[in-house]
Amino acid sequence: MKIDSVEFFYAAMPEVTLAADGSQDALLVRVTAGGYVGWGECEASPLVSIAAFVTPRSHGVCQPVADSVLGETLDSPADIARIAALVERNSMDLLQAAHTFSGIEIAMWDLLGHRFDEPVWKLLGYERSAPKVPYASMLFGASPAETLEHVKAATIAGFRAVKVGWGGFGESTPERDADHLVAAREALGDDGLLLVDAGQIFVTDLDAAAARIPALAAARATWLEEPFLPDAYRVHDQLAARSQGVGIAGGEGAHTVHMATNLIDYGGVSFVQIDTGRIGGIGHAKAVADYAAAKGVTYVNHTFTTHLALSASLQPYAGLADHRICEYPVEPSALARDITRSALELDSNGEISAPDAPGLGLEVALERLGPYLRTVDISVDGTTLYASGNSAGRTATVDA
Amino acid sequence: MKIDSVEFFYAAMPEVTLAADGSQDALLVRVTAGGYVGWGECEASPLVSIAAFVTPRSHGVCQPVADSVLGETLDSPADIARIAALVERNSMDLLQAAHTFSGIEIAMWDLLGHRFDEPVWKLLGYERSAPKVPYASMLFGASPAETLEHVKAATIAGFRAVKVGWGGFGESTPERDADHLVAAREALGDDGLLLVDAGQIFVTDLDAAAARIPALAAARATWLEEPFLPDAYRVHDQLAARSQGVGIAGGEGAHTVHMATNLIDYGGVSFVQIDTGRIGGIGHAKAVADYAAAKGVTYVNHTFTTHLALSASLQPYAGLADHRICEYPVEPSALARDITRSALELDSNGEISAPDAPGLGLEVALERLGPYLRTVDISVDGTTLYASGNSAGRTATVDA
């Protein structure tokens, strides 16, 4: 099969706020080849990722992503890896390329799943899709009482694990943060898993991060996520050495495999969190999962958007039964809920699994997206390089 | 002063080929504040970098670069650092942001230089601009004879150092590469500096890279540049341990300070090469230069475009007299030559220095750019977010 088309669908809520809520927009990708269709999703900044697909080339290793994808042969997972290597080489100097390609790569896996009537996780070599314990991802409340209330609501909804983050954590005093952690633990009960996301708030300030460790340990937090800039490995490792049993987590921003494995090798993390919509897709994420498993580090998905992205993010570690924790977007936008015809719902154990169905196992409800779709037009020298609704995804003149 | 406007000028040669020649296009940035003007340049992919300036926001930490820049106070270098930190935070999830901001940041330094009537290197704290030994950057020839001819031409033009790279190096046998290295050394004579650029060709293959070491050592190559993927630190370090005195060099793709310092700390490089047009600008590059100097690693600029970019890339280490080597684009495109009214020419010693003149010390010849300028139009939902020639750089509706 040859890749016939790559189309983008940029959907957004009517109002996109400054909240740390990644579900306010989405960039869906539809790939067709040999009469089959696959869907994927890029994370994030839809307009910029579209531009990286159609941009005029700058030179031999700064080519638009389209030039390494359109017309390529797609018959097997090996073809996906080959195309991924082409993009890495030909778009070496195009920074956004990894985000753009991630959604395309995911769609290629979905397409092959439909072609072979197999779930993606089987194509990846796993024999079964092991259940995961989803954690409800939420922001800290404005007060400890509000944090308690939010976490309590998640436990009532059936979650055995909760992650709280952002919302001022790390910006004030350790005592202020400790009060929120006590509230979260109280709401969760003794048995629940408590995860905490610092959102890079300490930048590179080891002491500021370390000042939060006693309260995190007292609240029996399983991990502290992204305390620092993601590539500040040394301070990660130093914090891990004094973290009193609280694991350090990170990796969501990785846009190459090595960015994630370096965090394991040099940053001392116990949990590596991968967003398939950023790292280059499912193949790259699987490489990290394999590496993490070999190193005794727990692989976790990073997902804050749709259930299409959630399924894509579960595939790379679906068969790693010991890697149990899974991020689950608990308060997604209406857009994120509407994008797929069905969702990955919690079972009676409060668990989820990657679907046992062809491809990603979810259908995109294109007919429901109308109210959210944004039209994009990009032209250079008066020639249209991209226009929403053009089924070719781009015009033939992009290389001119 | 408040930042009044940020304008982009996308210039390209009439035909942009697949050659590994980064001077085929350029993205100039003009910043105005308080009646002063500064110029900078982003590297690379002009359309995508423009899109990252004007894109609608995705969420609180995926904002367009414009939102952290326009209207900000710009009175001192501390303001530049403050704005850089704003961009890093507010555009955390927008991958292309570092490339976009680099050109803006450089323009802010140029502007402050004009405001205070000082060269940028003085604003950075250096007392003098030390001379650098420029190397002529060129591709390997199709045959050893052609490589010899090219290198010879550079020595006749007054260069005491030459870098040859790409052009099939590493793709065939070590013997083939050895023939080219012998030719290059022969053309250069005993005293010239020979530098070799592998362009990531060995990906992560340590043995393939190591197989070239004997010929590199025999030709007395000062460095082997980018043998591997830039964040594959371990193989860099392993190669460095068996490199027979040939230094390992890398860093041009770094888009954060830590990506460069990690290459020093974990990759065992002896030379760190920074592109101010990618790493976030002059401030970030200076941080790397300081770190390199402290660690006994030699700082080198990475420049393959215009003399505006060359001046910007010299500033961060202008005062580090022991860091002597400097990349010099020896065969730039007509566009790259035309962009500035003057150039940084080799003196009678075959050396160059960052200009002792306000700002970057070069004037942009806007009137000569007409034939090269590309017009860009970007709209979402029918609303123009960017249109070349709009002096606001973007319309007021981008945040709507």
- Report the half-sphere exposure of B183 (CA within 13 A, side-chain side): 21
CA distance linking residue B128 with residue B131, whole number of Å: 9
Cα separations in angstroms, A392 against A32, A55, A387, A395, A398: 11, 15, 9, 7, 12
pLDDT one-digit tens code per residue, B289-303: 999 999 999 999 999
Q: Mind telling me how many Å the CA of A205 is from chain B's nearest CA?
A: 14
- The pLDDT of A343-361, averaged and rounded, is 95
Q: Which two tokens stand for residue A65?
A: 């992503």
Q: Is B256 in Cβ contact with A229 (below 8 Å)?
A: yes
Judged against a pLDDT cut of 50, whether residue B18 lies above it is answered with yes
Q: Is CATH 3.40.718.10 the right assignment for the domain spanning A3-117+369-387?
A: no
Judged against a pLDDT cut of 80, whether residue A389 lies above it is answered with no
At residue B61 the predicted structure's pLDDT band, cuts being 50, 70 and 90, is very high
Residue B339's pLDDT is 95
Residue A395's pLDDT is 36
Residue A316 DSSP label: G
Judged against a pLDDT cut of 90, whether residue B259 lies above it is answered with yes
Domain boundaries, chain A: 3-117+369-387, 123-338
Best mutation target, A53, A58, A257, to test chain B (most B CBs within 10 A): A58
Q: Is B381 in Cβ contact with A374 (below 8 Å)?
A: yes
Judged against a pLDDT cut of 60, whether residue A168 lies above it is answered with yes
| Chain B: residue whose CA lies nearest to A17 | B59
- The pLDDT of A64-87, averaged and rounded, is 98
SS3 A222: strand
Residue A400's pLDDT is 26
Residue A399's pLDDT is 32
Judged against a pLDDT cut of 90, whether residue A174 lies above it is answered with yes
- The pLDDT of B191-209, averaged and rounded, is 96
Q: Is B52 in Cβ contact with A45 (below 8 Å)?
A: yes
Residue B137's pLDDT is 86
CB pairs under 8 A between A and B: 202
Residue B390's pLDDT is 55
- Which of A19, A59, A255 lies nearest to residue B24, judging by beta carbons? A59
Mean pLDDT of chain A: 95
- Which of B19, B50, B94 lies nearest to residue A59, judging by beta carbons? B19
- Which of B98, B200, B266 lies nearest to residue A92, judging by beta carbons? B200
Helix ranges, chain A (H): 46-54, 77-90, 97-116, 120-123, 144-156, 174-188, 206-210, 213-218, 233-241, 257-265, 282-295, 307-314, 334-338
- Report the half-sphere exposure of A219 (CA within 13 A, side-chain side): 27
- The pLDDT of B276-287, averaged and rounded, is 98
CA distance linking residue B31 with residue B38, whole number of Å: 5
CA distance linking residue A287 with residue B55, whole number of Å: 32
Please report residues of A whose CB lies closer than 8 A to that of B48. 48, 51-52, 55, 94-96
Mean pLDDT of chain B: 95
Q: Is B56 in Cβ contact with A51 (below 8 Å)?
A: no
**ipTM for the complex shown:** 0.95
| Chain A: residue whose CA lies nearest to B304 | A59
Residue B117's pLDDT is 98
Judged against a pLDDT cut of 60, whether residue B371 lies above it is answered with yes
pLDDT one-digit tens code per residue, B111-123: 999 999 999 999 9
Please report residues of A whose CB lies closer than 8 A to that of B51. 47-48, 50-51, 378
Amino acid type, B51: A
Three-point CA angle A329, A333, A334, nearest 5°: 125
- The pLDDT of B63-82, averaged and rounded, is 98
Q: Is A265 in Cβ contact with B234 (below 8 Å)?
A: yes
Q: Which two tokens stand for residue B315?
A: 């500033």
| Chain B: residue whose CA lies nearest to A378 | B378
How is A233-265 classified by DSSP, letter by letter?
Answer: HHHHHHHHHTSTTPEEEE-TT--SHHHHHHHHH
- Which of B58, B89, B262 lies nearest to residue A24, judging by beta carbons? B58
How is A355-376 classified by DSSP, letter by letter?
Answer: -SSSBTS--B-GGG-GGGEE-E
Please report residues of A whose CB lies closer than 8 A to that of B262. 231, 233, 262, 266
CB A83 within 8 A of CB A74: yes
Residue B331's pLDDT is 79
CA distance linking residue A306 with residue B334, whole number of Å: 48
Q: Is B45 in Cβ contact with A62 (below 8 Å)?
A: yes
Judged against a pLDDT cut of 60, whether residue A319 lies above it is answered with yes
Reported as type and span, the H/E element at residue B85 is: helix B77-90
Residue A138's pLDDT is 87
Q: Is A58 in Cβ contact with B95 (below 8 Å)?
A: no
Q: Mind telling me how many Å the CA of B357 is from chain A's nearest CA?
A: 31
Judged against a pLDDT cut of 90, whether residue B156 lies above it is answered with yes
Q: Mind telling me how many Å the CA of A250 is from chain B's nearest CA?
A: 14
- The pLDDT of A317-341, averaged and rounded, is 93
pLDDT one-digit tens code per residue, B19-31: 888 999 999 999 9
Q: Is A47 in Cβ contact with B59 (below 8 Å)?
A: no
Q: Mind telling me how many Å the CA of A345 is from chain B's nearest CA?
A: 25
Residue B225's pLDDT is 98
- The pLDDT of A229-238, averaged and rounded, is 97
pLDDT one-digit tens code per residue, A249-287: 999 999 999 999 999 999 999 999 999 999 999 999 999
Q: Is B379 in Cβ contact with A20 (below 8 Å)?
A: no
- The pLDDT of A48-62, averaged and rounded, is 97
SS3 B17: coil
At residue A390 the predicted structure's pLDDT band, cuts being 50, 70 and 90, is low
The gap from C-alpha A13 to its chain's centroid, in whole angstroms, comes to 19
Q: Is A232 in Cβ contact with B258 (below 8 Å)?
A: yes
Q: Is A63 in Cβ contact with B232 (below 8 Å)?
A: no
Amino acid type, B200: Q
Please report residues of B whose CB lies closer than 8 A to that of A379. 376-377
- The pLDDT of A322-336, averaged and rounded, is 92
CA distance linking residue B145 with residue B140, whole number of Å: 10
Q: Mind telling me how many Å the CA of A384 is from chain B's nearest CA?
A: 9
What is the phi/psi pair of residue B261, to 5°? -70, -30
Judged against a pLDDT cut of 80, whether residue B396 lies above it is answered with no
What class has domain B123-338?
Answer: alpha beta
Judged against a pLDDT cut of 60, whether residue B284 lies above it is answered with yes
CA distance linking residue B312 with residue B314, whole number of Å: 6
Q: Mind telling me how many Å the CA of A196 is from chain B's nearest CA?
A: 18
Q: Which two tokens stand for residue B50?
A: 């423009």
How many other CB atoms are found less than 10 A from the CB of residue B80?
A: 23
How is B155-182 classified by DSSP, letter by letter?
Answer: HHTT-SEEEEE-TTTTTS-HHHHHHHHH
At residue B329 the predicted structure's pLDDT band, cuts being 50, 70 and 90, is confident
Q: Is B376 in Cβ contact with A21 (below 8 Å)?
A: no
CA dihedral sign, ordered B166, B171, B172, B175? positive
pLDDT one-digit tens code per residue, B93-113: 999 999 999 999 999 999 999
Q: Mind telling me how many Å the CA of A115 is from chain B's nearest CA?
A: 31
CA distance linking residue B344 with residue B328, whole number of Å: 9
At residue A397 the predicted structure's pLDDT band, cuts being 50, 70 and 90, is very low
- Which of B47, B98, B266 lies nearest to residue A95, judging by beta carbons? B98
Task: Quote the percentage of chain A above a pLDDT of 70.
Answer: 97
Judged against a pLDDT cut of 50, whether residue B246 lies above it is answered with yes
- The pLDDT of A91-110, averaged and rounded, is 98
Q: Which two tokens stand for residue A397?
A: 């003149």
